Structure formats: structure tokens, C-alpha cells
Structure 1
Amino acid sequence: MARLLGIRIKNYKSFADIKLGQTDYGKGEPLPSFVCFIGPNGSGKSTLLDAFGFVSDCLLEGVEGACDKPARGGFERLRTQGSTGPITFEIFFEHDDPDRPIVYKLQIDLIDGVPSAVKETLRQRRRGETRGQPYYFLNLTRGRGRVWAGDRVGAAKDVKASKSVRLADLNQLGLATLGNLADHPRIVALRSYVEQWYLSYFVPDAARELPPSGAQKWLDRKGSNVGNVLQYLERTYSKPNFQKIIDRVTRAIPGLKNIKCEPSADKRLLIRFDEAGYMDPFYQQSMSDGTLKMLAYAVLLSDPQPRPFIGIEEPENGLYIDLIEHLARQFVSHSSNKDRPTQILVTTHSSYFVDALGPDQVWIIRKGIDGHAAATRVADLPNVRELTFQGVPLGAQWYSDHFGTEEIPSLEQLENPKTTRASAQ
């Protein structure tokens, strides 16, 4: 299963140029299986999750549709203010060889006023190579270029397995078009990986709705179909295995004895909650935000066929403080399960949540004096590792300002200190 090693984002909202994890061959540490992003309001945490959502939407809905979603407001609102270059994403991911990551680069820009995919490449080093240019097995500029078939990274001058490509619609990614063809297994693998990204924007009121009865494999982004997913699990797995799933779910929610889905007379779906101390059951309309949220996360983590990548924004909202650290530990445990690997990315404002994590798992995002966001791994801040070794929880260090509160310079400022000083004057 593919795994995200790192990502570089340029010209997307406040991300003029931000790097996370491994963003070059042989340089940088890969992102861990669980990573948490903290920072002040407006620093860019939501932008980070939306960047992943934007790439996924470009694949599934087309470039123009991804730009024009109501929360985004079009290409010009997405491109970093003052920038004239394309919006660029460069994603490093491991496919079948940790020493040879595959890199997907996507550039979005306006062509005749319409958002379009102006550049797409996929590259990978040849086996045994540590230097030189990687092998490009997809290379498109404005929909034209070459693609190499098969799963072998060939010799530098081997063009027999390549063919010319011309896409008819620059609104559709080459990844979407070519990722449907069995001749291109590495492109298929990346398409499948991105298609399975799950970004949670859980809305408790959505979970209180009564959807039509009918099994669905995965949760939607708002969690409104949690009952349908339980129906799918019950239909797909044997009774003993399904009961194990239900047992895991109920253990995650204090005071809950059992959960059951019941179709109503008009074929809508009711979720029945049996709580300790009560003879009569409760249904989703009367359950608290926290209970519904814990239910959605428990169902998400109990999936026998988990998503490879999950992004969750502020999972602590609506939860009692005793549950927050417990939930963080559940996420970490789930992401480290080698039998069912899932990489989880979370944003949070809760020091209780961060208390359950280590310095290598936490990044802080802050804006520089130019308004551009930059990210720093907490483990790289002064004294953090030493304080953690002495037993000081990470959330307590954050609450006590050991992570610093000053504005941090952007990547551009670090590379051009003279320009930074001049602009400050």
C-alpha cells in the first residue's frame, strides 16, 4: 500500500512555499504514520487539509470544479496573493520500494482564463541509482507529452515502451485518464491511492439525519452515513467478525452497551444506542455531539479495509477532556498497525491531545512577517527533546510557550535574508 513520505506546496493560499517531510531524493525525514499539526488560528492548518482535498477533487471532479467549490471561490482566491506562478503540488510517496519513492508533480494555472492542468509528471529513480536525474514515466505539458507503459523503470534511452499522449481536456488530469489503463500500473497505483484519501469534516447534525437505508462502504466527509457504513460491515462480514467490530466501537464510547441499525417503516435508517442504566434505547437524534463524533471515529478505525490516508480537522471538538487524550492514543495505535496500515494527519488546538504524542509526530505552523505560512517539526525546536525525556508532556510544553510565539520566517526569507531585511525597513 502506498504511503505519503512528504509534500511540497507552492502558491496555494498562505503556502507560498512549504515543505513537509521528505521532499527531495535522499533528503529530509519521511512523515511518520501519525502526524499532528498545531498553531494559532489562521496559521494555515485548515489550508493544509484543504490542499490534500484540492488534489483529490482535481482527480475526482476536474480542475475547474475543484477550484470553484464554494469554500474555495475560484483559482484567483486560491493562488497566493502577489504570486503569478502556477499552484504547484509535489507529492513524494512510497509504492513498492522505500529507497525509490515515486514523485507526482501537478501544476495548475489559467489558460484563457480557465483553471487547467498545465504540468503533470511522475518520476522515480532506477533501481540501484543514487545520483542523476530520475526516470520520468509520465511527462505532460498542457496535456501533451509521453507516457511509459509497464512497471519497470527502464534504461535512460529506452523509448520502446513509451508513446505520445495528447489529452483532449485540460480540466481532467492525466492521472485520472491514464490511471484507468492497465498498461500503466504505477499510474493506476497513484490514482487508486489518491482516490482513497479520506478527509473528515465531521458535522454532528449531519449524523443526526435519517438517511435512506442502504449499505455504503465508506464514511462520507461529514459522517452523515455512519449507519449505512455499519450496514455495509454487517452485510459484508460474518456475524462473529461483525460483532468484534461492534465491540470495538462500543468500547470506544463510555457507557455504551450496544449499537444496532434499524430501518424505519419508511425505509430510513435509525441507529439504536443501548446505554448502561437505561431500559429504553436512544437514537441518533437525541445523542450528544461527542457521542456521535466518537461513533464516527470508531467506525472509521474499525474498518477491516482501511483507507491509506486519513485527514481530520480538530477531532477534539465536542469531546470531554478525558476522551481527548484517549482518542489521540487510538489514532496513534491505529496508524502504527502494520497489518492494516493507515497514515493519519490531524490538526488540533488541544494541548491534551498533544500530550499523547511525541516530538517527531508534531509540527507547528505559523505565519511569517510576510503572511506566508511555514512549518517546523517540534522535535527540531530547542530543548523540546530534553524536556520530553525528563517527562514533561508535549502539550504542557506547548501551553508553557516552549515552542515559541514569535513569527517565523518563510522559506523565501531564509533563502534571501537581504530581501527580508530590506522589506522590513
Structure 2
Amino acid sequence: MGNLNVLPKKLTGSVKVPPSKSMAHRAVICAALSNGVSKITNIDFSDDMIATIQAMESFGAKITKQTDELEVIGIFHETAGKENQGENTIDCNESGSTLRFVIPISTLFPGPHRFIGRGKLGERPLDTYYKIFEQQGVAYQYREGELNLVVDGKLQSGLYEVEGNVSSQFITGLLFTLPLLDGDSTIVITTELESKGYIDLTLSAMKDFGIEVVNNDYKEFFIKGKQKYKARDYRVEADYSQAAFFLVANALKNEVVMHDLNLDSLQGDKEAIEILERMGMGLREKDGGFVGEADDRLIATTIDGSQCPDIIPVISLAAALSDGTTEIINAGRLRIKESDRLHATTTELNKLGANITELEDGLVIEGVSQLNGGVEVWSHKDHRIAMMLAIASTVCNEPIIIKDYEAVSKSYPNFWQHFKQLGGHFVEWNMGE
């Protein structure tokens, strides 16, 4: 990967916020599990999305890519499906969503299925599925510390007990799968459920594709068996986890008009607006989109990261330049993302002059009046850290060098192009290595 020398320039102009990766994953999976033909529009082909598309193709879906849309012929359509040709290898790249969504889905089809990936994906815990496999006699093999998992067997309908404080991705994977089993099933959540917003997205997508689930206050989910996903046309809404970068930019005196935002969205990361409004930013309509404004210096607040972990790195940037002490709590799961995001956020922003103390499951951020720059920072090969540092460059006194800047391709391949169109200025930087 390379390095960028990024000058401290303010961002102005308009940007079409990329489509929601969370909703696109779910729409592709639901369409692929149908018995008809669906068209999914407004989609970005990030590394993560390509991993999910290829995973569903490996089970027999026929998916045709066009500029920003997909035609999906479902696996159960008469023209789709495929013969079992031995072991099926599914490359999840670095996509935790693909991995955890698709593992239970793979048990619907003759195996064995081998899951591979790269980066830190092999370090992401999968114990929730291993316990279920052992209870139901589903064969599995894995290697410690890397992603090389083989699953061979079929899940049975019935009672599933799942912890709610590990990752909602496990629950989503089961929700996708259980309606296609012969009998009825119930998922019982044994602890407080974190990231409820992601479960809302899953249930919303499933309902759009004809699947009914009874949600009993997020404590249990009843899923009737023998249901069928129904093909449909589906437009993916804009992604609040990506909009958060521009929202924070606006809170820090940039002026970026964001288009395609759905203010009624169920995305948990929409909480970025509420957090920044508490800190002193207002949101108003402009030129057919929305722009954020902060008249004065931002005000510190307490931020619960349990329901919106993906926006915490960039929200920490806003907090670093706020008046007072911000506490970020219940954010321990950020340690098992593409990087240890609590450590990465602390390390890199402190290099720029922030005053952040890293805790086991959160951060304490003492606001400072300015960020200095003039140093090399590192993305930790994490897309969200790379984009956070790009926004940080707009409020630094001196240029910064961002190492491994291409990590943005994981979720937002056009980020640097949009950054430049908005007035950002950067050049490739040769470190002499």
C-alpha cells in the first residue's frame, strides 16, 4: 500500500453519499435466496460487497453486475442452482459481515464449504456458531488464528440460544437461514442485545423480500419454517456510516452538502446526527441535500458505542476538538474490527495533538483547541481509520502523511476521488522505502 501527503484544505461542495453497505449485503442475500429475478439498484462494488456477491454465486445464484446495479437470479429459480462439485470455497476477503451472514446459509446447501479470508478476519470470534454446530452435530474444522473454516452439515429448526453482546451478525445469519428450514424456530437472546439497529435492518430487508419474523422486544425472535424469499426490485439507501465522515467534517467548519440521506432510516449509524446535534451541530436542507453547521466550538458529551460502533473513530475526531471531556463507553467490540479501533484512534489522533486516553472498552477524550499535523499517521490498514484521518487533515495546521491510504477500498472505493472533488488536496508520497 502507498502513502498520501494530505494538505490542510477545507472541504466544500456536494457529495452523493455512497449506498449503505449494510443494506446492500442484506438485499443481495435476500434476492439470492429467492426463486425469482430481482434488480438491486444504487450499489457500490466495494471489496466487501464483491465478497458477498461471490459467496451467493458459489451457492448457485446468478448475479450480473452493471454500473451501479445488479440483476440477481435467485438460487431457487428454475434457471439457477448448480450441481454439487465437491468442496465449495468462499473467499470472504476481510468482510466480517460476509463471513458471519453466510456461514449458516451455507448449511442450506450440500457441503462441505470452506471459508477463507485475509487481514484480521481470522481473529474474529465464531464461537457462537461452533456451539450451535456441536449441539446439532454439524461437522466443522478450523485453524486457530487464521480463517480456514470448513462446515459440512445441515442446521435443524428449533430453539437457538444466542448471546446478544458479541455481534448482531450471528443473529442476522440465523435470521436469514431459519425461515427456509422445514420446521419453526425461535432465537432466544440470552444477554442484552447490542447493535439493535443492525437487526432492524435485517428484519426490514427480509420483510421487503417476503419473509415474516416475530420480534418479541429483541429478547426472542420467532421464525416460521417453509417460508420463501420473493424476488423484487430494490433500491439501496445511502449509508450513514459513510455520511458520518462528512457530518463530522461539517461539525468542524467544512461545508459538504450530502445527498441521498434518508432521515427516516433504520440504520443505527444515523445516531451520528443525534450525537453531533448534542455537541452543537445543526442540520439543515441545502441544494436538495443536507448540510451540517456548528456556530461555535463543539461541546463534549457521553457517547454509548454499543449501538453504533462503526462511527466511533470519526466521532472521536469531533470530540478531540470539543470543549470539555468526552467519554466513549461500551465500545469494547471496536477492538475486533479490521483493526483495534480504540487503539488505532487513540494512537493516530494523539500523534496529531489530541489528548485521548484509551480504556478497556472506551475512550476518555480531553478536548484541545487545535490539531497540529506535520507527522506521519497510519490507517492500520482499516478503511474507517483512513477516512477519519482524511477528515482530520482538514483541521490540521500542517500537512499529514497517511500511510496505507488505499484501505478505503473495503467500503468506499471512490472516497479519495470525492475528497478531491470537494477541495481536498493530496499527492502520492514516496517514503524512500
> Under a length normalisation based on structure 1, what TM-score does the superposition of the two structures give?
0.31
> Under a length normalisation based on structure 2, what TM-score does the superposition of the two structures give?
0.30
Higher relative contact order (CA 8 A, sep 6+): 2
